[in-house]
Amino acid sequence: MNAPPWLVKPGERVDLEDLDPADTRPFADKVAAADLLRLRELQERLHVDGRHALLLVLQGMDTSGKDGTVKHLSGGLSLLGARLAAFAAPTMEELRHDFLWRVHRQAPPHGCVGIFNRSHYEDVLVVRVHRLAPEAV
């Protein structure tokens, strides 16, 4: 796979005359990028308003497209106002708290977009199936 023309390796010099200002890669044209540009605009409005947050919860079987969706969204969101959380097996610290403690820690603050790659539902399921918490919990 070829490196994109705008990638500058350490020590290389750049001549802006060599770069096409009309280059819209990876999109065919501006129209093809419109949805992601609109997403960025909406995210900026959410951030400036600062009263609300948005949480996107992606739940699905393995190979259902969760990672591809995250990759697609990351092209349209500003990473300064977005947070991605993926929930693997709970750590020892997480097990010392209630089962939703780690989920609450990952919730997006006002003005931000949060993406849960798998959700607290799966977290509850894994904890129950693997008996990581007492039945009473």
Give the per-residue pLDDT at 134. 81
Q: Is residue 4 predicted with pLDDT exceeding 70?
A: no
Q: Is residue 83 part of a domain?
A: yes
Which CATH number fits the domain that encloses residue 119?
3.40.50.300
Binned at pLDDT 50, 70 and 90, residue 78 comes out as confident
Residue 8 lies in a domain: no
Residue 122: pLDDT band (50, 70, 90) is low
Ranges of beta strands (E only) in the chain are 54-58, 82-86, 113-117
Above pLDDT 70, what percent of the chain? 91
- Examine residue 137 and state whether it is found in any structural domain, yes or no: no
Domain count, the chain: 1
Phi, psi for residue 55 in degrees, rounded to 5: -120, 120
* 11-15, 117-121, 126-130, range with the lowest pLDDT: 117-121
| pTM (two decimals) | 0.65
In a domain, 36, yes or no: yes
Answer whether residue 118 shows pLDDT above 80.
Answer: no
- The Cα–Cα gap between 114 and 107 comes to 7
User: Does the structure show a pLDDT above 80 at 123?
Assistant: no
Give the model confidence (pLDDT) of 7-45 as tens digits: 778 888 878 788 787 777 777 777 777 777 788 889 999
Note whether residue 4 is domain-resident: no
Please answer whether residues 51 and 112 qualify as being in contact, where contact means their C-beta atoms are separated by less than 8 angstroms.
Answer: no
